[in-house]
Amino acid sequence: MEESNRQKKIASVLQTDLANVVQNMFREAGHSNIIISVSKVTVTTDLSISKVYVSVFPANNANAIVEELNKVKPTIKHKIAQLTKNQLRKMPELSFYNDDSLEYIEKIDRAVKGEDNPLKNPDLLPKRKKK
């Protein structure tokens, strides 16, 4: 089902504000060597649940970072609600997920350049996990 304009607008507002809040939280916590970007936000049709896809660099810390974000969801939700109080009546529930598409693209890029040949070693490009 296609997203409505309202869903797209809310997702856009949330994505911008979440990126700022999450980056500031990690900067204040002393994690200046980790880069976090909010790559995509989707909102359900009733605007009650929001899925937030986060890209983390370096990628080896991604699962730990996503777990930490899910632990501090109430704090993040409160900060976002403060920022969007004039735009949203009700703040959607947040769920954070790891966006591994950049890693997947990098593996394909290396395979195309010939650095890792998947024809010789088929285990280099495992099937993509659906979430």
Residue-wise over 74-99: b if at least 16 C-beta within 10 A, else e? eebbebbeebbeeeeeebbebebbbb
Per-residue pLDDT reduced to its tens digit, 47-104: 899 999 998 887 788 888 899 899 999 999 999 999 888 888 889 999 999 988 777 7
Pairing of strands 93-98, 35-43: unpaired
**Distance set, CA 100 to CA 8, 20, 21, 76 (Å):** 22, 21, 21, 22
What is the pLDDT, as a whole number, of residue 109?
78
pTM: 0.77
Q: Residue 43: which pLDDT band, with cuts at 50, 70 and 90?
A: very high
Q: Tokens representing 29? A: 């916590």
Tell me which residue of 53, 47, 55 sits closest to 8, measured CA to CA. 47
pLDDT at res. 61: 80
Domains by residue range for the chain, with CATH: 5-99 (3.30.300.20), 101-131 (no CATH)
pLDDT for the residue numbered 76: 92
Tens digits of residue pLDDT in 95-112 = 999 988 777 777 777 777
Q: How far, in Å, CA of 51 to CA of 40, rounded?
A: 8
